[in-house]
Structure 1
């Protein structure tokens, strides 16, 4: 999945701050300088909730995140205390702007796309079908639910609130996070299982083609051996002999034709 952050624009009451991102971005500073707030504001633009620090509570207005996805650039602007994200993509006559739910779904937002919330839009801009997982963790034929982009992003950010912070939300008192984390693990493992099966099927096909090719080579080798040819050099020698014989026959035929023409002329006289 092509997913690149290009910039984060923070609008405050008195100023606007732009934070550019490179392929690898490194932020450093004293405790309380706002390093963690950058990650949380990115998550806010991607549909998360945020608890504003005392420094931001009185001044923060909105955050705008710019992404580079497979289908192009995507701009996500989310005002403070809003459950909607203003998404913009496309250029000139093809430019589109839509207010899209950050997390909830309430029907299709962009016609003929299946997009119902921000996560759907990002998957769609990445030319991917939004992943789905079984609602029941026990029944195999259970109905499926969406797997949110933010569930997958859990594994891209380590929230170091404790010394033993973990990427896996399998502990703690929040059952939703635990179940959603299990969904992500099942989805990722399932994807790799399917990918392995596809590779194994391709390998079996190649093995079949190899076996058939070897059988054809063995058959051809036996045929050539029966006619006294067992190597490439011998084949080339036979070809040379046949060509020389053919050239000799052609010369003889040409001489015979010329002689026949002379004889006919003599008889007429």
Structure 2
């Protein structure tokens, strides 16, 4: 259990995408987890699925997931307590299901239903509030305009904090990291940063309010538990141990009945007319099953065609939109114009030939038409998906009927004897009664476990209260200063950049207004080299994680980075391709050793923290690994998945590996 000197702990154990034909599983462990391989193999989709299951508004999925997937499961540990999160990947507005157990045992518990955002509250509340509460992060409101005394307050969500944990492929090396180009969003992000590192002026007051709320929640939970426990006693529902014992006896009795039925079947001889009727029924059911399989296959093929057509429509819209942008930039017929792409001079007469025949209104109309077709194709895709689900349901019903018919037929002996039919029917009726009793016992066990879960939640709340009280005393005694936090973060970043190393690693700090990195006395957004910004952005996020492992923060000790090697020279073989940016070349970022040192440094710090029992998790996606470090990374079991189009060297062809 975390103490007041610890930060919250979020650990991903397993991700499962449930498909029509199979499950697609990725398991993770503490420390570093690397996923690498060819483009368009589903690497980023794994991070997108994790992000979605942790409350993102939508999921950006490649077409194979859209074709094969149904819903996703995420097994997580939140402050050492295991939960399973279940979410439909096609219906982001539906309630999110949370089970207080691992994936293997979700059928033993009823799920809590949470609203996916603050506009839709579920029966159990909001999903963001659940995550924050489970991580023992106070539920607070922060000022929209912190410089104004009468500023409106806005709710701080888990998604606000998670921005500092997930560096996606669009933000790695981006000038506008953390929405720094959007004043409204960036202002809120800076307040979130202060909250994460206990720098808000109102933090002590907020913490006191959280303690009061958790105390009230715990008291209500205990009161509710007492009421339900009293009801169980009054209705004489057995204890969990007795119910489990009854369930065991029921299953043993069911096994004996199955053996007797098997024995009778072995001894039965044929009643030819009855046998022929059963045979005809089985043949009919098999034919029907084949038809459903064929129809499902056709529907899957049609859906795949629609998905491809949808992709084509999107590409056409993008091309036409680009044409509109160029038409808009055309001047009023000078002799020569500047190319909007490469800045070279172009004769207007030649250029106009390509665009005057396609006036803007015509292009806009075509874009509008394509968008309408896109909506129609989305509707068709949804209809096909629903048809497939319906066909699967009918197919399952047929399979069950087929199994029942085959059981009665006994293909091995193929014979039934009339005197045994009555005896067999009695056993079948007894089997039905035992199954009904087993189902009732299983439901009662779920109810008992749900009651026990209330006790467990009460204990968690008590532990959380203890941690919050200790944290409150710590904040009252010695709340950290902004200068102290920023200096420590700058020291971590400085150490990171020196170990890469970058050229001229001086003037490294954290800006006191934006809380973003400064290198060589230049603000992060002013750095001209994409490769340098990549290293600085990765180092900055890694510094945020490092600080949380040593100090008490509201940062969940978890980090995901997508395409960590963006803009960096990776191997001697492809360094010429990577060095086409003059600024990167001047920085020497085409040198593969920097890329190797990046992995080695992260591994060194991570292993050091784990030895000190500072648990954390880092999930990294990349297109390739440095050759000189690949073997060591494999030996240390950092690589959790490897994809390549040929499926060679122990790799899968992709996340969806039956495509």
TM above 0.5, one fold?
yes
Answer whether contact 1:85 1:99 (CA < 8 A) is retained.
yes
Aligned counterpart, 1:119 = 128
Aligned counterpart, 1:145 = 154
> What is the CA deviation profile of residues 220-250 of structure 1, one whole-angstrom value per residue up to 9, with x for unaligned ones?
xxxxxxxxxxxxxxxxxxxxxxxxxxxxxxx
Answer whether contact 2:191 2:200 (CA < 8 A) is retained.
no
Q: Summarize the alignment of residues 57-206 of structure 1 with structure 2, pairs less than 5 Å apart.
A: 57-70=66-79, 72-82=81-91, 83=93, 84-89=95-100, 95-106=109-120, 109-110=123-124, 116-161=125-170, 164-165=173-174, 168-172=177-181, 177-191=185-199, 198-199=477-478
Answer whether contact 1:90 1:96 (CA < 8 A) is retained.
no
In 2, the alpha carbon distance for the partners of 1:157 and 1:148 equals 15
Aligned counterpart, 1:38 = 46
Question: Bigger shift: 49-58 or 94-103?
Answer: 94-103
Aligned counterpart, 2:62 = 53
The structural deviation recorded for 1:103 is: 1.6
In 2, the alpha carbon distance for the partners of 1:72 and 1:149 equals 18
In structure 2, the CA distance between the partners of 1:71 and 1:196, relative to structure 1 (3 Å rule), is: closer
Answer whether contact 1:157 1:167 (CA < 8 A) is retained.
no
The structural deviation recorded for 1:176 is: 5.8
The structural deviation recorded for 1:118 is: 0.9
Question: Bigger shift: 142-151 or 68-77?
Answer: 142-151
Secondary structure of the structure 1 residue equivalent to 2:178? coil
Secondary structure of the structure 2 residue equivalent to 1:186? helix
The structural deviation recorded for 1:167 is: 8.2
Which structure has more relative contact order (CA 8 Å, sep 6+)? It is 2
In 1, the alpha carbon distance for the partners of 2:167 and 2:180 equals 15
In 2, the alpha carbon distance for the partners of 1:78 and 1:181 equals 27
> What is the CA deviation profile of residues 138-176 of structure 1, one whole-angstrom value per residue up to 9, with x for unaligned ones?
43344432211122111122122266326842334x566
- Higher strand share goes to which structure? 1
Secondary structure of the structure 1 residue equivalent to 2:179? coil
Q: How many residues align?
A: 194
In structure 2, the CA distance between the partners of 1:163 and 1:199, relative to structure 1 (3 Å rule), is: closer
The structural deviation recorded for 1:191 is: 3.3
The structural deviation recorded for 1:67 is: 0.8
In structure 2, the CA distance between the partners of 1:132 and 1:166, relative to structure 1 (3 Å rule), is: farther
In 2, the alpha carbon distance for the partners of 1:87 and 1:5 equals 14
In 2, the alpha carbon distance for the partners of 1:103 and 1:176 equals 20
Answer whether contact 1:154 1:167 (CA < 8 A) is retained.
no
Aligned counterpart, 2:466 = none
In 1, the alpha carbon distance for the partners of 2:122 and 2:150 equals 26
In 2, the alpha carbon distance for the partners of 1:67 and 1:198 equals 34
- Higher helix share goes to which structure? 2
Secondary structure of the structure 2 residue equivalent to 1:26? strand
In 2, the alpha carbon distance for the partners of 1:89 and 1:187 equals 28
Aligned counterpart, 1:9 = 16
TM-score relative to the length of structure 2: 0.27
Answer whether contact 2:97 2:111 (CA < 8 A) is retained.
yes
In structure 2, the CA distance between the partners of 1:187 and 1:166, relative to structure 1 (3 Å rule), is: farther
Larger Rg: 1
The structural deviation recorded for 1:108 is: 7.0
In structure 2, the CA distance between the partners of 1:197 and 1:36, relative to structure 1 (3 Å rule), is: same
> What is the CA deviation profile of residues 13-53 of structure 1, one whole-angstrom value per residue up to 9, with x for unaligned ones?
21111211111211111111111111110011111111221
Which residue, out of 18, 25, 33, partners 1:25? 33
In 2, the alpha carbon distance for the partners of 1:164 and 1:52 equals 23
Answer whether contact 1:66 1:76 (CA < 8 A) is retained.
yes
In 2, the alpha carbon distance for the partners of 1:136 and 1:192 equals 13
Instruction: Structure 1: state its 5+ residue gaps.
Output: 111-115, 202-269
Secondary structure of the structure 2 residue equivalent to 1:191? coil
Answer whether contact 2:79 2:134 (CA < 8 A) is retained.
yes
In 1, the alpha carbon distance for the partners of 2:10 and 2:172 equals 29
Aligned counterpart, 1:233 = none
In 2, the alpha carbon distance for the partners of 1:11 and 1:39 equals 16
Answer whether contact 1:71 1:127 (CA < 8 A) is retained.
no
TM-score relative to the length of structure 1: 0.62
